[in-house]
Amino acid sequence: MTYRRQHPVLFLCHSDNEIVSEVSKMEWEVRLAKWLTRSLPPSLMLGVQVGVIEISEGTNIDTVESFVRTYAGVFWIAIVSQSRLSDDAVRYLLKNYFYDFHTSPPDFTRLQYMLGHALGMARLCNTDQPVVALCDSSEMILGQSQSMHILKQQLQKLSRCQLPVLITGESGTGKELVARKLHGASECGEGPFIPVNCGALPAQLVQSELFGHEKGAFTGATQRKIGKIEAAHNGSLFLDEIGDLPLEEQVNLLRFLQEKTIERVGSNQSIHLNVRIIAATHVDLEAAVQDGRFREDLYFRLNVIRLKIPPLRQRGDDILLLARKFLQQQQQDHGRLSFSEQAEIAMLQHRWPGNVRELMNRVQRATVMTTGRYIQAVDLEIESGPPSTDGECLKAIREVAEREALARALDESHGKVSSVAKQLNISRATLYRLLDKHSLL
Ligand SMILES: Nc1ncnc2c1ncn2[C@@H]1O[C@H](COP(=O)(O)OP(=O)(O)OP(=O)(O)O)[C@@H](O)[C@H]1O
């Protein structure tokens, strides 16, 4: 009984009928929704692995189909009136999207058994992923530098369209965070956000992971599996490390982008999907295209709009802003700490190859390791003191100075390119090249 109470079951019923009054007595955590909006409030769907949908005379089948596809990871059970069972559209829907069905009026003891089986299967199949990957929009993109300001403006504009976006940037710069924000702010923000790490997909299972499979499609396919693309219906699919997608799968993904349909492995039935694609890479995709490791046609499809996230070392004072924020987040456990001046200088001079993730980790470690009230550079395990003057460092200093001069001039001239070019005594063409290089465009 307690086990069942821990597992919410969503019931979508027409109001004021017998089912509504009976399910409220059930020994499950019953979440009741009255029929039917395309997406329900995220709080209602949170943790739901099994759901029941009533399909009676007046139920619009297209609405049901769109709904169950939006929440494709849920194991759905239908309660269907006898008369609707002869309807081809209903039969197709039950066959393709439902775990089981029950004719109405339901026998509630039998329904309880069905729910138990469905929950067992859902838990087996979904151990590796949340059923509905809700987008955590509470996490803020921190940063006040010019480049982050521009990035936030771009995100706002992009949230109004559904075009594919390619996010580039070094590892740990915040590509996934930006993708989640983009999804959360867009029209499909209440739909699922499904992240896929293309580099971590097991080679033999890539196609089934992305496109799903039917029961019996290959040895070991004991149940139908909904793929990641289908799970992202009416939401966003985040293809992280897209450069690592094997060439054969690139063809299949391209076909999906062109036709907006997929076929599960072992089926020849096309399923039309509405999915926004956000891809990310930390490698140079153009070089991968040149080397024949990435299809050019797919590259053009994905690269409709590009967001460049600058490395942390180019964000000036944002380094300290982020470090203080991360320290503050640790404070509940470690009392009132702050950074010494020498630690702050060291952070500003460090090259941050692991970017924001590295900063977060170093601050976490320092809060544990420090012995005093002030965190020192040594607690962060980074070198302090004046920057060395080897060639690499001199180059870095030049880069930072160049970027700062550009950002300052942009600020002073309120982004007017002709004034900036005049102020810095460079041509407009050179200015555009430098703005692009420093991700200030
Ligand atoms: N501007 C930011 N403000 C607050 N937190 C940030 C910011 N940028 C990144 N982070 C945090 O840093 C961590 C790393 O970010 P994220 O995973 O989005 O990076 P990534 O570029 O996708 O990394 P990878 O290339 O390794 O997949 C996350 O915990 C994220 O929340």
Domain with CATH 3.40.50.2300 in the chain: 2-125
Closest to 180 in 3D by CA, of 307, 370, 317, 5: 307
Amino acid residing at 250: Q
Using one digit for the tens of pLDDT, what is the confidence trace for 399-408?
A: 767 877 887 7
pLDDT at 291: 92
Q: Is a pLDDT exceeding 80 seen at residue 169?
A: yes
Span from the CA of 323 to the centroid of ligand 1 (angstroms): 13
Ligand 1 atom 9, closest CA:
174
Average pLDDT over residues 205-227: 86
Tell me the pLDDT of the chain averaged across its residues: 83
The correct CATH number of 2-125 out of 3.40.710.10, 3.20.20.150, 2.60.40.10, 3.40.50.2300 is 3.40.50.2300
What is the SS3 string spanning the chain?
CHHHHCCEEEEEECCCCHHHHHHCCCCCEEEEEECCCCCCCHHHHCCCCEEEEEECCCCCHHHHHHHHHHCCCCEEEEEECHHHHHCHHHHHHHHHHCCEEEECCCCHHHHHHHHHHHHHHHHHHCCCCCCCCCCCCCCCCCCCCHHHHHHHHHHHHHCCCCCCEEEECCCCCCHHHHHHHHHHHCCCCCCCEEEEEHHHCCHHHHHHHHHCECCCCCCCCCCCECCHHHHCCCEEEEEECHHHCCHHHHHHHHHHHHHCEECCECCCCCEECCEEEEEEECCCHHHHHHCCCCCHHHHHHHCCEEEECCCHHHCCCHHHHHHHHHHHHHHHHHCCCEECHHHHHHHHHCCCCCHHHHHHHHHHHHHHHCCCCEECHHHHCCCCCCCCCCHHHHHHHHHHHHHHHHHHHHHHCCCCHHHHHHHHCCCHHHHHHHHHHCCCC
* CATH class (in words) of the domain with range 391-437: mainly alpha
Query: Does ligand 1 come within 6 angstroms of the Cβ of 356?
Result: yes
Q: Which atom of ligand 1 is nearest to the CA of 180?
A: 18
Determine the pLDDT at residue 355: 96
Q: How far is the CA of 141 from the centre of ligand 1 (A)?
A: 9
In the chain, CATH 1.10.8.60 covers 313-380
Nearest-angstrom CA–CA distance, 185 and 188: 8
| Strand-pair partners of 359 | none
pLDDT at 306 over 70: yes
Check pocket membership of 141 for ligand 1, CB cut-off 6 A.
Answer: yes
Token reading at 79: 């309660």
Ligand 1 centre and the CA of 173: distance in Å?
5
Supply the pLDDT for residue 136.
44
The verdict on the CB of residue 176 being under 6 Å from ligand 1 is: yes
- Is the whole-model pTM more than 0.90? no
The amino acid present at 254, given as its one-letter code, is: L
Question: What average pLDDT score do residues 83-99 get?
Answer: 87
pLDDT tens string 14-70: 765 677 677 767 777 788 877 665 556 767 777 788 889 989 888 888 888 878 877
- In the reported structure, the alpha carbon of residue 60 is separated from the centroid of ligand 1 by a whole-number distance in angstroms of 42
What's the fold here for domain 146-308?
Rossmann fold (3.40.50)
19 or 325, greater pLDDT: 325
Give residue for tokens 């097991």. Answer: 202
Helices 146-158 and 391-412: angle between axes, nearest 10 degrees:
60
d(CA 354, CA 173): 8
**Interface predicted TM-score (ipTM):** 0.98
Mean pLDDT throughout 411-421? 82
Q: pLDDT tens digit string along 102-116?
A: 998 888 888 888 888
Residue 240 CB less than 6 A away from ligand 1: yes
Task: Tell whether ligand 1 has an atom less than 6 A from the beta carbon of residue 177.
Answer: yes
Indicate where the chain has its CATH 1.10.10 domain(s).
Answer: 391-437
Domain with CATH 3.40.50.300 in the chain: 146-308
- Where is average pLDDT lowest: 115-119, 202-206, 384-388? 384-388
Atom index in ligand 1 nearest the CA of residue 179 equals: 18
- CATH tag for 313-380 (out of 3.30.300.30, 1.20.1050.40, 1.10.4080.10, 1.10.8.60): 1.10.8.60
